[in-house]
Amino acid sequence: MTKTYTIAVIPGDGTGPEVVAEGIKALKVASEIENFSVTFVPYDLGGERYLRTGETLPASAVDELRRMDAIYLGAIGHPDVKPGILEKGILLSLRFELDQYINLRPVKLYPGVETPLKEKGPEEIDFVVVRENTEGLYTGSGGFLKKGTPHEVAIQESINTRMGVERCLRYAFNFCRRRDKERKLTLCGKTNVLTFAFDLWERTFREISPEYPDVSTDYAHVDATCMWMVKNPEWFDVIVTDNMFGDIITDLGAMIQGGMGVAAGGNINPEGVSMFEPIGGSAPKYTGKNMINPIAAICAAQMMLEELEEYKAAQRIEKAVMKVLARDLKSLSAGKMGYTTSEVGDLVKKYILGGAKEDSA
């Protein structure tokens, strides 16, 4: 019997629906070739729905999403909605509700893609950031005192639990093993200033690392990590860090791998339902213009297949993406690719089919 996956699709705002459509194209052909089937269940969540109904993430939707095999997300963010509402109400809520405690962000420069780093190429830029995704400064813990007065106090607390830190570190060690590149795990922190939070991180890191004798460990402060990511990105294999630092360094990572047009990420619950997304945002000014680059969304689909352990199908997508990047696209920027959004999706589809023909020849 062929395996069937049920994938929730949240196209979301702005250019989300356009890029997600191209990822679905790739998922469909890759699944046909590898003999499994994928059913897509659309969810209307995002800025438009919020403006229409005042709802961000209804509890009934969360209950349904819990039963999915994975979630495929386009983008969340609407120019007419105050910043924070949709991010907290949808994206962060999903991460927390579904306990997606890892944010996985590959930083990989593909051949043919331009990096702003001089003298660095695909050989040097190929690492993965494992970002804690449910704690730290993101929990919403804190508050105001005497708000609006000259004596106002604003407190935003970084919450770090032993359990949360340890499960993230263990995921990173195991991921490093599975990736099997240099088997080197770098903890990125700030032990010289954040002497409580990163004391816990570093102690836990040191305590559990003997259980992974085949993985070598290293430590770098977050500011130094930024420096090395630019100067010597080849030093990194897997970086593990907290939620806030992870947010910041992964945008830097996206830039050195060629920009938002290629950067994808996974919000992972290794024991539950994971969610995959291009990290570029909703790009309102390109909405509906068939101009935005769908490669990041297609890479997110590839990551989803990896998490579902459909490795062959994932590889077919990655190979096709690499061909498009190396042969076809003039630039990764919206409107400058030399192709429309849907044409880029068609090229990926063509190369997936072509790759399958070569295999059977």
Residues lying near ligand IPM in the complex (CB under 6 A) are found at 87, 91-92, 247, 279
Nearer to ligand IPM, 103 or 115 (CB): 103
Q: Is 34 in the site for Mn ion (CB under 5 A)?
A: no
Residue 128 binds what, of ligand IPM, Mn ion, none (CB under 5 to 8 Å, by partner type)? Answer: none
The SS3 call for residue 76 is coil
Residue 254 binds what, of ligand IPM, Mn ion, none (CB under 5 to 8 Å, by partner type)? Answer: none
Q: Is 22 in the site for Mn ion (CB under 5 A)?
A: no
Distance CA 293, CA 337 (A): 8
Binding track, positions 247-266, relative to Mn ion; x by CB under 5 A: x-------------------
Q: What are phi and psi of 329, to 5 degrees?
A: -70, 130
Q: Which residues pair with 238 in a beta bridge?
A: 128, 185
> In Å, how far are 97, 264, 292, 315 from 267, measured between CA atoms?
12, 10, 23, 20
Nearest-CB residue for Mn ion:
247
Distance CA 139, CA 96 (A): 9
Q: Are 160 and 201 spatial neighbours (Cβ–Cβ below 8 Å)?
A: yes
Minimal distance, residue 281 CB to Mn ion, in Å: 9
Nearer to ligand IPM, 296 or 352 (CB): 296
Residue 91 binds what, of ligand IPM, Mn ion, none (CB under 5 to 8 Å, by partner type)? Answer: ligand IPM
Q: Are 218 and 252 spatial neighbours (Cβ–Cβ below 8 Å)?
A: no
Residue 284 burial (CB count, 10 A): 16
Nearer to ligand IPM, 122 or 281 (CB): 281
Q: Are 20 and 297 spatial neighbours (Cβ–Cβ below 8 Å)?
A: yes
Distance CA 184, CA 216 (A): 5
Residue 87 binds what, of ligand IPM, Mn ion, none (CB under 5 to 8 Å, by partner type)? Answer: ligand IPM
Residue 48 binds what, of Mn ion, ligand IPM, none (CB under 5 to 8 Å, by partner type)? Answer: none
Nearer to ligand IPM, 92 or 222 (CB): 92
Q: Is 277 in the site for Mn ion (CB under 5 A)?
A: no
